[in-house]
Amino acid sequence: MVSRVIPVDPFDLVIFGGTGDLARRKILPGLFRRYCANQIPTSARIIGVARTQLDKKAYRILVRDSIIEFSGNHKVNKKYLETFLLMLVYKKVDAQGEEGWAELKDLVRKDVVNAYYLSVGPGLFGEIASRLKQWDIATVESRVVIEKPFGRDLSSAKKLNAVLSTHFSENQIYRIDHYLGKETVQNLMAVRFGNLLFEPLWNSQYVDHIQITVAETVGVGGRGAYYDKSGAMRDMVQNHLMQLLCLIAMEPPSQFNPDSVRDEKLKVIRALAGVKSHHIVRGQYDSTKTEQSYRQDVENPRSFTESYVAIKTEINNWRWAGVPFYLRTGKKLKTRSSEIAIVFKKLPHSIFEQDGEKKQNILAIQLQPNEGMTLDVTIKEPGPGGMRLIHVPLDMTFAEALGDHVEDNPDAYERLIMDVIRGNQTLFMRGDEVEAAWTWTDPIIKTWESRHDVPKLYEVGSVGPEDAMALIRRDDRVWRDLK
């Protein structure tokens, strides 16, 4: 297959938190894969920064081991790995003190793209941004990449935006939501705006409801302390699920450029209806004979934090008035499955007599684990026996249709880092978008907190709390199976 990868310009990428978990698991293995795909020139430099005292050699060994450990199914080409490691430099810098900044300034080249990835705790975002300017390291051309969580409520997000904007202009700030870097998430836009077929049906006249599911089998892992202060609403809904909802619901932008796309997404968030308390279910996973409960995992026997949320909401605009959007996400569920399902309305009138005729068309976009789309349609059952109808999914699983191309897919982080280097902000959240998302989420969380809301328990390995099933059943609908 002919490679369609376009190499990026030489760059210096400084990773604050260069020895941390995200750098070792995602950022560095991702950069290595892009290097193997010949997208990164050997003149690029990756500068790991952290508090630990390490020399260049020790850092390269750490990165080599991380790439080998976290490359998953991808075979690590040892020859490429050795040359990739030569691009790495390490600098000990005290993010809150003065140590190391002068040397960092000398290290970063001003005549190539330079980007600063803040893969550190949110408490350090502002501090590092200020020091980058104070030490005259970052220029007006530099890019700064901010990991989530971007604030924990509207007021902290506003403060963070304010600090960042005193040092950088909006077109230099790349707020990461890694869901936007997923292949199928981008495909959502291609499907909607690259085909004539769906767009005429994409509205309240033809759509009965929409379901967005992000189900995980993993629990909180080693992140219990962070997660217990956040919960699923802050950790998943405020960012990943809302971004998916925006892409599904937004109006066609006039062009595929960062601000046109983000303007349309922002309008969706602003049009979201406030959620009534009986339209939301919080859950927390409970132990089984073999599995620990959430409270045991986070070592907090009195935790009321939710590891599951189901929400029914609506978008108050012309296109979507009256169409329910059901969102759910949870940890330690039966299967790992992220899916968006557009469930179309029933036929207004059927000329057939049997049961099958009232089935609804469903366009299901599977994000993970297997990327693809299915469109449920009614057809005649092949063979004799009269007009018998069956409902079948037209399977458009990308792995089958696209063969080799699927192997080529960069993971979300790879794609997003390359976008930073290319200077393309389309898949990054703008400051006003993040604030609008918190504006919607804040009252929900505040109500729970003021009422000391107790989450409903669900067993590890189940499909979620019973109340979440009832939430949608009350509307005569059902959640899609977690396959």
Contact footprint for ligand BG6 (CB under 6 A): 216, 218, 235
The amino acid sitting at 238 is Q
CA distance 411 to 416: 9
Q: Which of 109, 105, 91, 97 is nearest to 44 (CA)?
A: 109
In terms of CB distance, is 218 or 351 closer to ligand BG6?
218
CB of 246 to ligand BG6, least distance (A): 16
Three-class DSSP category at 160: helix
Nearest approach, Cβ of 224 to ligand BG6 (angstroms)? Answer: 11
Q: Which two tokens stand for residue 347?
A: 């036929």
Cβ at position 405, least distance to ligand BG6 in Å: 21
Written as one string, the DSSP assignment of 266-301 is: HHHHHHBPPPPGGGEEEEEEE--SSS--HHHHTT-T
Please tell me the distance from the alpha carbon of residue 416 to that of residue 412, in angstroms, as a whole number.
Answer: 6
| Residues in contact with 64: Cβ distance below 8 Å, sequence separation at least 6, in sequence order | 81, 85
Please confirm, yes or no, whether 240 is among the known catalytic residues.
yes
Q: Which is nearer to ligand BG6, 216 or 419 (CB)?
A: 216
Q: Toward ligand BG6, which CB reaches closer, 2 or 218?
A: 218
CB of 218 to ligand BG6, least distance (A): 6
Nearer to ligand BG6, 142 or 211 (CB): 211
Q: Which of these is catalytic: 240, 279, 405, 452?
A: 240
Smallest distance from the beta carbon of 331 to ligand BG6, in angstroms?
Answer: 7
With respect to ligand BG6, which residue has the nearer C-beta, 181 or 253?
181
Q: For residue 89, what is the enclosing H or E element?
A: strand 88-92
Edge-to-edge strands of the sheet including 45-50? 88-92, 45-50, 11-16, 113-118, 143-146, 173-175
What is the number of the residue whose Cβ is closest to ligand BG6?
235
Smallest separation (angstroms) from ligand BG6 to the CB of 456:
20
Chain centroid offset of residue 132 CA: 27
Q: What is the DSSP string of 25-36?
A: IIIHHHHHHHHH
Classify 428 in phi/psi space as left (phi over 0), alpha (psi -120 to 50) or beta: beta
Q: Report the nearest approach of ligand BG6 to the CB of residue 192 (Å).
A: 22
Strand partners, 312: 326
* Distance between CA atoms of residues 281 and 455, nearest Å: 8
Question: Using CA atoms, how far apart are residues 246 and 180, in angstroms rounded to an integer?
Answer: 11
- Please, which residue, 196 or 218, has the CB nearer to ligand BG6? 218
Which residues touch 395 (CB under 8 Å, ≥6 apart)?
372, 374
In the complex with ligand BG6, which residue's Cβ is closer, 6 or 218?
Answer: 218
User: CA of 411: how far to CAs of 16, 18, 101, 241, in Å?
Assistant: 21, 19, 32, 18
* Active centre residues (catalytic): 240
